[in-house]
Amino acid sequence: MNTQELLKRRWVPYALLAFAALVILIILLAVYVPSGTQVPELEQIDEQVRVDCHPDPNPTEDACHRRGCVWLLATGNWSAPSCYYPTSFGYAVTSEQPGLLTLTRREILGEVNPLSKPVKQLQVQYEFFNDQIVHVKITDATVARYEVPVPLWPKGKPQAQISSNRLQFVVLGNHPTFAFAIHDQQRTLFNTSIGGLVYADQFLQIATYLSSWNLYGFGENLHTNLKHDLSTFRTWPMFSRDQPPVADPPTAGNLYGVHPFYMQMNDDGSSHGVLFFNSGAQEYTTGPGPSLVYRTIGGILDMYFFVGPQPGQVIQQYQTLIGYPAMPAYWSLGFQLCRYGYHNTSEVEELVKRMRALEIPQDVQYVDIDYMDKNKDFTIDSENFKDLPELVNKTKENGLRWIFILDPAINVASEQYPAFHQGKQSNVFVTWPDEKYVPPLNANYTTTVGTKIMLGTVWPFDNVAFPDFLNPKTHSWWKQQIVTFHNVLNFDGIWIGK
């Protein structure tokens, strides 16, 4: 046997081992690597009713597939998503009893949610109140999640029922994944068979067909009409932000208020309303289905349906849940003047005098943060506004009312600032959940070093702490600060900004 034959025989076992290892590696990659290489089956869904699987910017085919979704370029509607959820995406019903369902997530190849891990098991609870209100609550079946700690039913909660003579909660059995509908006799108020139910720790989504093209509500955003335009896909953010209205609708963002409630009116005038009871950052997308997609980054999916059927009845039913508006002071309905940028008391006084001289009605005068000492709450600039209390008392004799701003952001830098030190002593400020999250920033101030107080930046020259208004101790502390300050500055109202 020559040398070449010996070498061939020597390397044959190694070649076989290498080949076997390669085969095993390919199998492991195919089974265990959840990547965009697993292309979902191409399911063609009408562009008008697609639910966007990549609502964040810059979608690509690869990124879409990594989420377990379908990529098909939209050609008929420029605003339609090219990355959308297949009908197989979602949850399956694993147990059902009156008023309560358990859902299990259907496994999808790929990185289904880029923001956080999906919740594998959900509970769906539903109940009826007086044949007028339907409550649907979707929660994690195994882990308690944050729920909005705002009291409802101020006049007393009516007896909940798991059935109704008029209303129906229906699980849609002809759909490949869990979907439900809310029916009021011949009307359908909500229908999630459009798909796209997502429930993850930091991303929750539910979508519905709309029963008509007449949609009102939500906000706060700038709109050219009260009625939503459903002819294209349009996403609106809902997160409270200190920004004035922008006059360009295509770039209109979220403004001061958040109101996750909408009303829909059918062509015959019958109406219903829906409240998404959530305090996280939210957004909603309207589409030409007509359809609605609701998203939030925290909490639970907690929904109330108000059946009307008259528009006025929808609002009445809504107010039985959230409470009725309080009648404001009569003077607060009058003519009010407000601006930022006063330099001293004399400037404010001259303005009030001009209003009187020109016989321009004025019931209320506002003063922004200009009056404060270095923009600190419950203080007065001793140089430029030291005589402001005197001006207030003098003009109140002629019926003028005064409102001053108080931002709920308390400066932490001063060693001689009672508002902060009393709040710190009473533990009223928002804190980090654990010391490991506390940034080095806290060590910059002797008042916060070694604490878990969460610091931020607003108007004061230094960092600030934020009162936790969900803490009952904060109510007492805040009230005492206002009472003490009112003894110095005789205001009639306060303007709570950011």
- For residue range 479-490, list pLDDT tens digits in order: 999 999 999 999
Whether residue 13 is predicted with pLDDT greater than 60 in this model: the reply is no
Roughly what angle, to the nearest 10 degrees, separates helices 388-396 and 345-357?
20
Give the whole-angstrom CA distance, residue 108 versus residue 40.
Answer: 9
Give me the phi and psi of 166, to 5 degrees please.
-110, -35
Write the CB contacts of 319 (distance below 8 Å, at least 6 apart in sequence). 325
Strand 401-405 to 493-495 pairing? parallel
Chain-centre distance of CA 18, in angstroms? 55
Give the whole-angstrom CA distance, residue 274 versus residue 207.
Answer: 13
- For residue range 452-481, list pLDDT tens digits in order: 999 999 988 899 999 999 999 999 999 999
Judged by average pLDDT, the poorest of 24-38, 51-65, 254-268, 391-405 is 24-38
Fill in the DSSP letter of residue 490: -
pLDDT tier at 160, thresholds 50, 70, 90? very high
Judged by average pLDDT, the poorest of 210-219, 238-247, 252-261 is 238-247
- For residue range 217-237, list pLDDT tens digits in order: 998 888 888 999 999 999 999
> Mean per-residue pLDDT for 239-266?
82
pLDDT tier at 246, thresholds 50, 70, 90? low
* Arithmetic mean of pLDDT over the chain: 89
Give the whole-angstrom CA distance, residue 270 versus residue 481.
Answer: 49
pTM listed for this prediction: 0.85
Q: What is the pLDDT of residue 230?
A: 96
Whether residue 104 is predicted with pLDDT greater than 60 in this model: the reply is yes
Query: Among residues 150, 153, 132, which one has the least CA distance to residue 314?
Result: 132
Distances (CA, A) of 75 to 48, 53, 261, 288: 11, 17, 33, 15
Residue ranges of the chain that CATH labels 2.60.40.1760: 91-322
- For residue range 19-51, list pLDDT tens digits in order: 444 333 333 333 333 443 456 678 889 999 999
pLDDT tier at 111, thresholds 50, 70, 90? low
Whether residue 3 is predicted with pLDDT greater than 60 in this model: the reply is no
Q: Which CATH superfamily is domain 91-322 in?
A: glycosyl hydrolase (family 31) (2.60.40.1760)
Give the whole-angstrom CA distance, residue 109 versus residue 38.
Answer: 7
Give the whole-angstrom CA distance, residue 212 versus residue 230.
Answer: 10
Whether residue 195 is predicted with pLDDT greater than 90 in this model: the reply is yes
Share of the chain above pLDDT 70, in %: 89
- Bridge partners (DSSP) of residue 429 are 467
Q: What is the pLDDT of residue 5?
A: 45
Residue ranges of the chain that CATH labels 3.20.20.80: 334-496
Higher pLDDT, 35 or 165: 165
Q: How many CA atoms lie within 13 A of 24 on its CB side?
A: 6
Q: Which CATH superfamily is domain 334-496 in?
A: Glycosidases (3.20.20.80)
Give the whole-angstrom CA distance, residue 125 versus residue 239.
Answer: 27
- For residue range 350-393, list pLDDT tens digits in order: 999 999 999 999 999 999 999 999 999 999 999 999 999 999 99
pLDDT tier at 247, thresholds 50, 70, 90? low
Fill in the DSSP letter of residue 453: B
Judged by average pLDDT, the poorest of 55-69, 76-90, 189-203, 250-264 is 250-264
Give the whole-angstrom CA distance, residue 236 versus residue 258.
Answer: 11
Give the whole-angstrom CA distance, residue 369 versus residue 375.
Answer: 6
